[in-house]
Amino acid sequence: MRARASVRAATDGFRLSWQAMPVSALLFICCVAAILLLPVGGLFALPGVVAQVRAHADRRRKLAAELSGVAMAAGYRPLPEVRGSGYPAYLERSAALLRDPATWRDLGWLFLDMWAGWFTAVLPLTLFLFAAEGLALAAGMWRLVVHDIAFPYGFLMVEGQATAYAAGVLGLVVLHLTLRNGERLLRGHFLLARALLDRPLTAELNRRIDRLTETRHDAVDSSAAELRRIERDLHDGAQARLVAMGMHLNTIEAVVEKDPAMARELLVEARKNSSEALAELRDLVRGIHPPVLAERGLGDAVRALALRIPLPVEVTVELPGRAGAPVEAAAYFAVSEALTNAVKHAEAERVWVDISHADGSLRVSVTDNGGGGAAIGGGSGLVGVERRLGTFDGVLAVSSPAGGPTMVTMEIPCVLS
């Protein structure tokens, strides 16, 4: 079984050496030429060349997994899009590619693959041929190659039948070792490639950096929009009530002695304005950060929220402690949006909310028995929820087949106090 695997490794390595290695050499030359010729048009070719290099590297990763079980992670950032046309757009894209460490690591791998990679790929077949040569010399082929000088074979010099037999013994030893280790030799080729092509930590860090950068911008935009909303609500609501109340009080001061009846009517109106202004301020504060959330925690805040929903809502909470205030606020408003969607769009009859903490993450799921069809995007409020959770490196998943049910699941990494 091991011998068969070694023979297969020799053929796979040979096929790799004449199919893939020339591609590595060609791409290395093209990539270096595009970089050196950037000022005179190389920047137009560089994005395409880099894309081909990455595709070639991905094929090698796939072969490594299929032939030798060597796993490699790509870890590429998305290729930057060309916005617009012409020299400036391609210059921006080429500059982004040159700043990406993966571009230079791939270039180093191409150079390594041209010589060391080729040698390690053909090594199993080379050893088989070396062993076959030793056996052929022992069988009498030495008479065809040995004339006035000895024929070199490994560390031996074949001069006659005795040294030919020694070459045969050496060939048998090499054949035995190759049959037992040929698969490991091909694996060594892919392990050499993995030194430059495998970067799982880089991939994860790049993904998180890109995601956090995007959500940071979203959070800044959301914060600015929230501040504008608060300013608008104060201006159009509570501030207008307070101004009207001030005008009434000024009028009362002017007519209190001349027309007590009118003063009483204005006092009633002022009292009404003050009550409405206070109610609007309370609603505004509750929209910023509900008092029950700060005082009682996420579980009780969601229960209080469920009481205001015109649907039967079953809330299950299994939290051994409390998360940080920002995390609780993000989860609370995410649940609020999901419940609002269930009421407005899902035509649901019942909603279930489950809140728990496991594996270092706060997990919240909102399930309704409505008609389904919910999705992230297309103007859905779930886009805002995803951005809010993304600020904390959280994730949002939606399962909503046609006909229902709809399950909105949120996970936020956090530690409970």
To the nearest 10°, report the CA torsion of 56, 57, 62, 63.
80
Mean pLDDT of 191-204: 70
Distance CA 5, CA 8 (A): 5
Nearest to 345 by CA among 374, 302, 306, 383: 374
Please indicate, yes or no, whether residues 167 and 55 belong to a single structural domain of this protein.
Answer: yes
Residue 312's pLDDT band, with cuts at 50, 70 and 90, is: confident
Considering the domain architecture, whether residues 363 and 331 belong to the same structural domain is answered as yes
Read off the pTM.
Answer: 0.48
- Residue 204 within a domain: no
Give the domain-ending residue among 245, 266, 288: 288
Provide the 10 A C-beta neighbour count for residue 181.
Answer: 17
More confident residue, 406 or 230: 406
Are 168 and 94 contained in the same domain?
yes
Task: Determine the Cα–Cα distance for residues 400 and 378; give it in Å rounded to an integer.
Answer: 15
Q: What is each CA distance from 35 to 88, 148, 233, 288, in whole angstroms?
A: 16, 54, 56, 52
Could you tell me if 63 and 154 lie in one domain? yes
pLDDT in tens, 42-83: 777 888 888 888 888 888 888 877 777 777 777 676 665 555
CA dihedral 156, 159, 163, 168 (to 10 degrees): 80
* pLDDT tens readout for residues 146-191: 777 777 877 888 888 888 888 888 888 888 888 887 778 777 777 8
Range of the domain at 303: 294-413
The alpha carbon dihedral of 31, 36, 40, 43 has a sign of positive
**Average predicted confidence (pLDDT) for the chain:** 76
| DSSP 8-state class, residue 322 | -
Structure tokens at 399: 């399962």
Q: Is residue 362 part of a domain?
A: yes
Residue 359 has pLDDT above 60, yes or no: yes
Among 153, 175, 198, residue at a domain's last position? 198
Q: Is position 207 within any domain?
A: no
Nearest to 90 by CA among 142, 128, 38, 129: 38
Q: Cβ neighbours of residue 193 under 8 Å, at least 6 residues apart? A: 60, 64, 72, 109, 112, 113, 117
**217: pLDDT strictly greater than 60:** no
pLDDT in tens, 388-400: 777 777 888 888 7
**Are residues 330 and 359 located together in one domain of the fold?**
yes
Mean pLDDT of 87-115: 79
pLDDT (0 to 100) of residue 232: 60
Distance CA 161, CA 84 (A): 76
Q: Which two tokens stand for residue 382?
A: 């779930």
What is the C-alpha end-to-end distance of the chain, expressed in Å? 57
The answer to which of 1-15, 26-40, 74-88 has the lowest mean pLDDT is 74-88
Length of the chain, in residues:
417
Mark whether 88 and 113 lie in a shared domain. Answer: yes
- pLDDT bin (cut points 50, 70, 90) of residue 234 is low
- In a domain, residue 326? The reply is yes
Based on the fold, state whether residues 283 and 299 are members of the same structural domain: no
- pLDDT for 298 beyond 80: yes
Q: Give the chain's domain count.
A: 3
Residues 242 and 153 grouped into a single domain: no
Q: What is the CATH number of the domain that holds 357?
A: 3.30.565.10
Q: What integer pLDDT is reported at residue 212 of this predicted model?
A: 64
Stretch 131-159: mean pLDDT: 79
Please state whether the peptide bond connecting residue 290 to the residue before it is cis, i.e. omega within 30 degrees of 0.
no
HSE of 266, CA atoms in CB hemisphere, 13 A:
18
∠ CA 126-56-196, rounded to 5°:
75
Q: Which tens digits make up the pLDDT trace of 11-26? A: 777 777 777 778 888 8
Q: Is the dihedral of CA 267, 270, 276, 277 positive or negative?
A: negative
Q: What phi and psi values does residue 35 have, to the nearest 5 degrees?
A: -70, -45
Question: Each residue of 268-284: pLDDT tens digit?
Answer: 777 777 777 676 666 65
Q: Do 108 and 171 belong together in one domain?
A: yes
Mean predicted confidence (pLDDT) in 202-221: 59
Please say if the pLDDT value at position 225 is more than 60.
no
Q: pLDDT > 90: what percent of the chain? A: 0
Q: Are 65 and 175 in a shared domain?
A: yes
Same domain, 284 and 311: no
What's the pLDDT score for residue 83?
Answer: 56
Q: Which pLDDT value is given to residue 103?
A: 81
Decide which of 263, 288, 313 is a domain's last residue: 288
pLDDT reading at 220 higher than 60:
no
Residues 406, 417: Cα–Cα separation, whole Å: 31
Share of the chain residues as helix, strand and coil, in percent rounded to the nearest 5: 70, 10, 20
Query: What value does the mean pLDDT take over residues 292-314?
Result: 83
